[in-house]
A and B are shown apart, each in its own frame.
Chain A
Amino acid sequence: MFSKWFQMNNWSIRDKLIIHFLLISILPALCITLFISWTVSNILEKQSNTHLLQLIGNVSKSLDVQAGSIQNISYFISMNQDVQHFLDEGSVMLQEDEERIRLHRFLQGFSTLYSEIAGIMVVRNDGQYLSNDMYARSNRNLAEEYWYHEAIAARGIYKIIGHPVNRNVTTHVNYKDSEIVSVVRAIQDPDSGNTRGVVLIDLKLRVIAEMLGDVKLGKNGYLLVVDEIGDVIYEPPYTYSFVPNQYEEWQEQSSGSFNVEINKESHHILYHTSPFTNWTTVGVFPMRDTLQAIKEVNKYLVLFFFLLCVIGMTASIYLSTSISKPITKLASMMRKVEEGNMNIPLLSDRKDEVGMLGDSFRHMIQQIKKLLMQVKEEQLKKREAELRSLQAHIQPHFLYNTLDTIQWLTRKEGADEATEVVGALSKLFRIGLSKGNEIIPLVDEIDHIKSYLIIQKTRYKEKLNYSIEVDEQCTRLFVLKLILQPIFENAIYHGIKERRGPGNLSLHISIHQGDLRMVVKDDGKGMDETRLLNLKRALFDKTIEHDYIATPTLSRGGELVGYGLRNVQERIQLTFGVSYGISIESELNQGTTVTITHPILTQKGSDQHDESVKGYHS
């Protein structure tokens, strides 16, 4: 069934065109749509990645700035003369009111200017400390705390402690450990390199929270800050339970991105590590956020595609119909013609190929119609001529019988000349009748003309001389009957009779160039050019109405010429075609030569024309 369906040749041209148009409109549209979708999603992903990385880089930078200013504060504190003095002498110097208050004011200055600082503390290497807002919880030596050691280990370089837990330090305002980030820096003796003390600055984590909270990573993304060992410094209250220290990726590069699977959902992780703080700012956002943007693009693309489909379908159906409809119309018209209805309606006045085809077809039909008419007409004419010749035969039949009787009577009376004439006449009529056969042996035709000449000779006596010469090979041939007699009649009446003195008539029958040729020559009066032209026109000009045969009023002074010759011409041409017939040459006072060209008929029934003629008579 499918193989049948796939045979393209069985499809209608309309279906083929529809499929074709759909293929060339919708297939590329689909390809383009898919390609655009693919490209856009790629670009979007890349763009949002770069954008977010930049964003995270900026956050990381502002964290650096924050850290930088804290570092500066720690330097500023360690450079202060009073602080140096405290480090030299310990809390003994705090007994001095003036110095104590000056230090208090100095440190208070920082909390005035930096509200993000939760507390500042300067610890001497023996555990004595100096602070406005912080103090030791217990008597445990602060110089033995882990953060103090970390500061020493960093050798004067700024060190951030992300999770300052279990410190023997508290602030008056009771910031919890989870609410602060601690920054420590050892104050070193420039000469000996020994650590003289440590500056401890507690930074409110809130500052980081506000910095990160301001940044929106799509709809559902968030930022978190991770320290160098992967512990979370800060993350927002709602997270995707992303545990950063499971991943090693950011150890390798300072910034980049990768994908992870959290709770069976794909998440994109972007990170940027600051070389200053060694903190990594990490952006976590679900892939579906990016997908959302891509989806938005796809929505329009799909809409566009469906619109294209609808337009493409409409266009393809319209186009294919406009092509196939006239063809179908033409085909149905042809079928009608096939059924015999020649009267086809005029096609629409379209100028395209189908219109041209229709025009040609209509033209062809017209031509056929014309030809049919012509055939019909010719048949009719032939029949008419035959009828007339039949009519001409009936009377001679009666005459023939009568003449036989007269001949018998004359012979009885002994009138020999009369007997000869009557015999010739009788023969003339008999051959003329010739049992109704249209084709007769050439010998009979010659007998016929001889009989005619005997009669005429009786009348014209010495004035008429004649000779008949028939080539040997011609004697067995057949010819159309009574074609010579009208020519002889013409020659006698218009040639010999008009001539002074005796005239000669000759008939020569031969085969010339594959045709039978009968040449009738007289040395009679002949014709001048005008007459000859008129005669020729009467014989050859087809444009002259056909019914002139019935009313031969055409040629003045030579009506019978026209009639007799014309009759012969018509009969030959109707029977054998226009390549046969009569040709005339004449010269005034010299004579006229009439040549009949006749096909070679070796037997009576060899020609179809003959059969039809025979059929008509029987």
Chain B
Amino acid sequence: MKFTPELSFSGGRVRPLTYDDVDALFELYQHPELPGQRVLDNKDNLIRMVDLSVQMAATQRGMMWALEVDGAITGMVSAFDWQPSLLRTMLRVDGLPQLTLAQRSAALKVCMDFMAEKYHLRNFGYQWIEGQNEEFKTMLTELGFKQSAVMRDAWRSGETSFANVVQFNIVLDKKKPVAGRLGEDSDINPGQNLNTDNNKDGGAA
């Protein structure tokens, strides 16, 4: 069964994580973007993370994509705190220094479009943490996100230090789906498994 699709964007693609990605992901986590985030010192947790990426997608709790440019992993896109019944999720992109803002933005957009089409999500949040690249805020605004709140000291950056979190949201002007029976065949609810006949187009019709 397949729950996380491969999606192309101009200059690259996002695809599901596999065990073969562990070395590339380890390299990615040598360049943490978040204030206070530690450099990863062993690969064991990454194998678990690949397992989790499948479990989370299957249970609609989150989704993780490897972000590839020119065939090499340069980042990751993650959807987390996914609330299916509330039609919302949070997003995050982690990238190597060579990942450009345009690539980051395009990857984020293609993942967002997929989740809006396939799962009818209409509210996407993104938290920018003080100390991260300021240009990420501009990128989010250009994608249509709006600043919702500045959450004081909401991110712990050290034993006794904290950083403000700026939350951005984009709420799509999109009709809410009508609830159907679980597993029934319909245009609006073709099921999660992307390998079935109902999802031959990748699920993002």
The answer on A and B forming one complex is: no
